[in-house]
Structures are given as structure tokens and as C-alpha cells.
């Protein structure tokens, strides 16, 4: 008599679009975790060329879903989550390298009773001025030197969600930027708490091209507008009083600088040294917010 196959406790979902070789670095880290529990890995790829055979040649146990049309990360994550068999679904991105205890540390947060747990991000481009500037801007609120605790929102590059949450509040919105913020808002509005576990670390490869850096900040600004349009989160007053928008760079400079000063003094010095570039990024982000208002 054949014994029934045990379902994995954990599912890891990775959205992908023209990932190149970085995907294999990501998968190598995900497939070599210090964890005794069984887990599955699902790659949801919407590249023009089906890369499933390339992935399975190196990692035969990885499930690959090829979508015929380019799909935004939020929707790709939702597709992967809907297929996942695990009790808890973990998310990361192709440009991220997870540490060996990543699954273990996030899993411990769930064992403590939290249904949504996320971790911290390290700078994967420390030798790049542009990459470091992007890191200082984008990941200030999830740097590994912050204390663990309950938070309002966390990004999907390092997030784990109990399947129960998807059943109750739905999946990620289909947006270019800001889908993680909107999803987390649905979670907290439902009465659940989100836990930040800084010991669950990933390393993120930031953009090193100046133009790509500015375009990304502009897109983040547009996403910031969209989240504030949909929910009354911090900063919603800018929707009602757009005359205050020119003060956004001042506010963001003070807030980001203060967090780095309290978290890691060395990175606060980098923040000061790279501030001309960082300011351009903040201005691009603000302009993206304005473009969102005009649409």
C-alpha cells in the first residue's frame, strides 16, 4: 500500500520576468535553507521565452509556471499563491539572495502567532554609488539594524503570509508599485497584526544605472499616490492639500536621515555623502506622485 504524500508546510513563490542569471543565484539560496521542514518552490515567469526547461535542468524540484503575457509582480505572486500547497507562503524576488536561515526565522514568527511576517534587506550593491543611494532610499524602514516588532506594512521581496489571510482578504492587487502596501492595509483592517523580523535577511541587488534609478523612484512615487488614493494612510492629506507637495523632499530627507542616524551611523554618513544623488531620487519620487495626481 502506497503511503500518501505529505503536503509541504511552506511554499516559496518567486515572480519573474526576463530575470537572466540572477534568478539562478536566487534559487540556489532558496534551495539551500537551514530548515528541517519540507517546502516547495514555485517560479511564476512571464518572460517572452519559456525558461522552464533551463530552471528544471538545474533545479528539477522547482515548479515553473510560464505565463504567455507579461504579468506584473503582484498578479504573478497571486497566481503562485493560489497554486501553493503550503500552510505558509513565502515571497521573494529574482534580484534577491536570501540567507540560509531565512525560512527558519520567518517561520518562527508564524509559530509565535503572527499570520504575516517579513524580514530585513541588506545592500547588494555596496560598491555602486547609485545602487547604494537606491538602497538608502528604498529600504530604510526594513534595514536589519531596526528592532523586531509589529508594523503597518512590509514589502513583498521579503514577506511570508499564512494561507488563511488570502482566504479572508484576497490576494495582491494588480499594480506596478504599491501592491504590497495595499495588501498589508487589508490585513491590518481585518484585525490581523504584521510582524517585522529583522533576523530574516535578504540581500537585494539594487539598480546601478542612473536613469533606471530615477525611473524607479518616479514609479514608486506614482505607486505612493495610488495607495494614498485608495486608503487613508499616512500622508493622505497630500491628496486634499496638494499645495504641500513641494515640502515632500524636506520631510523625506529629515525622516530618512533620522532613521539611518538611529539605525546605523556608518550608513548615515553614506546618506550625507550621497545626498545630492539621493535628493534627485527624492525629487523623482515626488514628481511621480504629482504625475499620479494628474492622471
How far is it between the farthest Cα atoms of the chain?
73
Domains and CATH numbers, the chain: 10-207 (3.90.550.10)
Check: CB of residue 165 under 8 Å from CB of residue 187.
Answer: yes
Q: Name the least confident of 108-122, 136-150, 161-175.
A: 161-175
The pLDDT-based confidence of 167 (bands split at 50, 70, 90) is very high
Q: Is the pLDDT of residue 240 over 70?
A: no
Among 282, 293, 284, smallest CA distance to 240 is for 293
Is residue 133 scored above 50 in pLDDT?
yes
What's the pLDDT score for residue 115? 97
- pLDDT average, residue stretch 26-30: 97
Question: Cβ distance 276 to 247 under 8 Å?
Answer: no
Residues 6+ apart with CB under 8 A from 231: 182, 185
pLDDT at 239 over 70: no
Mean pLDDT of 63-92: 95
Model confidence at 33: pLDDT above 90: yes
Chain segment 195-230, per-residue pLDDT in tens: 999 999 999 999 999 999 999 999 999 988 888 777
Q: What is the pTM of this model?
A: 0.92
pLDDT tens digits along 91-107:
999 999 999 999 999 99
Amino acid at each position: 500500500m502506497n503511503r500518501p504524500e505529505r503536503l509541504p508546510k511552506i511554499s516559496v513563490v518567486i515572480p519573474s520576468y526576463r530575470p537572466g542569471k540572477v534568478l539562478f543565484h536566487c534559487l540556489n539560496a532558496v534551495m539551500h535553507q537551514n530548515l528541517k521542514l519540507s517546502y516547495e518552490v514555485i517560479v511564476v515567469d512571464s518572460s517572452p521565452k519559456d525558461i522552464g526547461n533551463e530552471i528544471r535542468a538545474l533545479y528539477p524540484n522547482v515548479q515553473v509556471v510560464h505565463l504567455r503575457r507579461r504579468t506584473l509582480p503582484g498578479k504573478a505572486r497571486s497566481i503562485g499563491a493560489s497554486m501553493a500547497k503550503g500552510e505558509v507562503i513565502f515571497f521573494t524576488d529574482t534580484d534577491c539572495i536570501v540567507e540560509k536561515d531565512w525560512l527558519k526565522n520567518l517561520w518562527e514568527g508564524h509559530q509565535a502567532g503572527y499570520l504575516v511576517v517579513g524580514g530585513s534587506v541588506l545592500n547588494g550593491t555596496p560598491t555602486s554609488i547609485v545602487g547604494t543611494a537606491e538602497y538608502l532610499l528604498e529600504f530604510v524602514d526594513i534595514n536589519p539594524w531596526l528592532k523586531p516588532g509589529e508594523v503597518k506594512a512590509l514589502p513583498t521581496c521579503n514577506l511570508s503570509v499564512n494561507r488563511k489571510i488570502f482566504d479572508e482578504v484576497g490576494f495582491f492587487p494588480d499594480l506596478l508599485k504599491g501592491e504590497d502596501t495595499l495588501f498589508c492595509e487589508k490585513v491590518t483592517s481585518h484585525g490581523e497584526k504584521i510582524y517585522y523580523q529583522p533576523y530574516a535577511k535578504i540581500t537585494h541587488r539594487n539598480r546601478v544605472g542612473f536613469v533606471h534609478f530615477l525611473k524607479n523612484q518616479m514609479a514608486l512615487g506614482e505607486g505612493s499616490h495610488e495607495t494614498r488614493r485608495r486608503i487613508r494612510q499616512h500622508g493622505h492629506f497630500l491628496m486634499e492639500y496638494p499645495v504641500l507637495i513641494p515640502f515632500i523632499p524636506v520631510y523625506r530627507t529629515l525622516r530618512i536621515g533620522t532613521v539611518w542616524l538611529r539605525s546605523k551611523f556608518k550608513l548615515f554618513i553614506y546618506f550625507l555623502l550621497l545626498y545630492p544623488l539621493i535628493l534627485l531620487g527624492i525629487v523623482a519620487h515626488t514628481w511621480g506622485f504629482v504625475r499620479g495626481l494628474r492622471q
